[in-house]
Amino acid sequence: MHSASLQLDYVSSDELAMRSESWWSNVLGVVGFEKPPRLDPARVPVTASMTPSLGSSDNLCEVWRVAGGHEGPLATASLQQGRVHYRYCDELLFGSITIDEVGVQSHGSAALHRATMTAYQEIFAVLRATQHRHLIRVWNYLPEINREADGNERYRHFNSARQAAFRDSGRSTVGTVPAASALGSPPGSPLSIYFLASRQPPKMIENPRQTSAYHYPPKFGVHSPIFSRACVLSESIGTNLFVSGTASIVGHETIHHGDVTAQTRETLANIDALLDEANRIVGTRYSLDALKFKVYVRQPTDLGAIESALAVSLNASTSIVYVQADVCREDLLVEIEATGESSGAIGRA
Ligand code: 3EB
C-alpha cells in the first residue's frame, strides 16, 4: 500500500473555502478554535477545541492532511461510529468526539468521569474496528479544568477516568502511551477530544529534564496523567514528530511561579531537550525552527511577553498560533505543543 506523509496547516475558514476538490480528498480532519468551523461534516470530520484563538487570525482552523507522491484520494469517506467522527488513510486515522457533561446521567465530578470514560471507550472501539491500533497523539479539552468538584480539581477527576479507560481496554498506562495535550475550555463547553492513530507503532520519547507524567508523585493526583512527552512516527517517505503540551516543569515541579517570560523560556528549553532526545533515538534532525507551534496562554494580557520570549529563540517565519486556555496546573501560565512535519532525513540503521 501507499505511504503518505502527514501535514499540518493553520488556515482561515475563508481560505479553506477556496481549496480544490482533490485537496479536500486528502484532508483527514479540521479543528476549529472557539467554535466548529462551518464545513460539511459529511465531507470531513469537523470539531473544535472551544478555546478562542488570540491575535489577528479570525476563523482559524487546524487542518490535518495527508500528502502522497501520487494521484488520487488517499483517504476514506468521512465516517462515524458511535459519537466518534473519523477519516483515515492506510497508515493514519484522525478522529474526534465531543460529549456534553450535562447530557450524561450523573452529576458533579461523576459526570466528567463518565463522559471521559465513554469518550475513550468509543475512541478505542474505532481503533479496534479500523486496525489503527496505535493512539499516537491526543488533544483533550475539558471545561473549567482547574475548578474544584467534590473535593478535587476537575483535571484530576479527568486523569482518574482517562487512566481507568486505558486500563479497562487492556492498554498500557506507562511507556507506550500517546503524546497529548490537556487544556481547559470555557464553562458550558462539551468535553472535546480529537486524536491521531496509526497502524505502525510510533517511537515514544521522554524528556531527560522531566519526570515522566505517568510517574508523577501522588501529590499531583492519585491517578497520574497518561501521556508521553513526544512521539515520532516514521514512514517510508518521511517522519512526523508530535510534541505534547509542554510547560515550565523541571523534574515534576513547576518552576518560575508568576514569571511568564521565564516560564516560556523554560518551556522552550524542555522542547529543545526533547528534540535532542528524539534526534538521538530516531536519527531525525528536527530543530526548533522546523516545528509548528500552538501556544496556550492562560491570561491574554501575557500574550506580548510570551511572543517576545519566543522571538529570542525562534526565527520570524516560524508558524505559531496562540490560544487562550487554562493550563492544567494553577501555577502554569503557558503551555506549548509542537508538530514536526515530514522530514526526509531519517537515518535508519
Ligand atoms: C505537564 O507537563 C503539563 O494531561 O494529557 C501537558 C500535556 C500537560 C498533556 C495531559 C498535561 C497533559 O504535566 C500538563
The sign of the dihedral angle between the CA atoms of 179, 201, 168, 196 is positive
CA distance 204 to 206: 7
Diameter of the chain measured on Cα atoms: 56
Task: Write the DSSP string, 287-312.
Answer: -GGGEEEEEEESSGGGHHHHHHHHHH
325 lines ligand 1 (CB under 6 A): no
Say what the pLDDT of residue 69 is: 58
Catalytic residue among 91, 122, 335, 341: 335
CB distance 268 to 310 below 8 Å: yes
The pLDDT of residue 72 is 63
How far, in Å, CA of 294 to CA of 321, rounded?
A: 5
For residue 160, the model assigns a pLDDT of 98
Q: Is 181 in the pocket of ligand 1 (CB under 6 A)?
A: yes
Q: Which amino acid belongs to residue 168?
A: D
- Predicted pLDDT of residue 43: 92
Q: How far is CA 310 from the centre of its chain?
A: 20
CB atoms within 10 A of CB 129: 12
* Residue 180 Cβ < 6 Å to ligand 1: yes
Q: Which atom of ligand 1 approaches the CA of 225 most closely?
A: 4
pLDDT value at position 229?
98
Q: Which of 101, 132, 138 is nearest to 118 (CA)?
A: 101
Coil vs helix vs strand at 129: helix
| pLDDT of 347 | 43
| Nearest of 12, 48, 49 to residue 326 by alpha carbon | 49
> How much is the pLDDT for 344?
55
- Measured distance CA(122)–CA(114) in Å, rounded: 12
Ligand 1 centroid to residue 247 C-alpha, Å: 8
Place of cell 501535514: 7
Domains observed in the chain: 5-344 (3.30.1330.40)
- Quote the pLDDT of residue 342: 76
- The yes-or-no answer on residue 337 being catalytic is no
Looking up cell 501507499 gives 2
What is the pLDDT, as a whole number, of residue 217?
Answer: 97
Residues near 124 by beta carbon (within 8 Å), at least 6 away in sequence: 165, 169, 171
Contact (CB, 8 A) for 173 and 222? no
Measure 44 CA to ligand 1 centroid, in angstroms.
28
The single residue listed with the C-alpha cell 472501539 is 125
Cell of 70: 501520487
Burial 163-175 (b: 16+ CB within 10 A, else e): bbbbeeeebebee
β-pairing, 27-32 vs 46-48, is parallel
pLDDT one digit per residue (tens) for the chain, 349 residues: 456 789 999 999 999 999 999 999 999 999 999 999 999 989 999 999 999 999 777 789 999 999 875 656 678 999 999 999 999 999 999 999 999 998 888 888 999 999 999 999 999 999 999 999 999 999 999 999 999 999 999 999 999 999 999 999 999 999 999 999 999 999 999 999 999 999 999 999 999 999 999 999 999 999 999 999 999 999 766 789 999 999 999 999 999 999 999 999 999 999 999 999 999 999 999 999 999 999 999 999 999 999 999 999 999 999 999 999 999 999 999 999 999 997 654 444 3
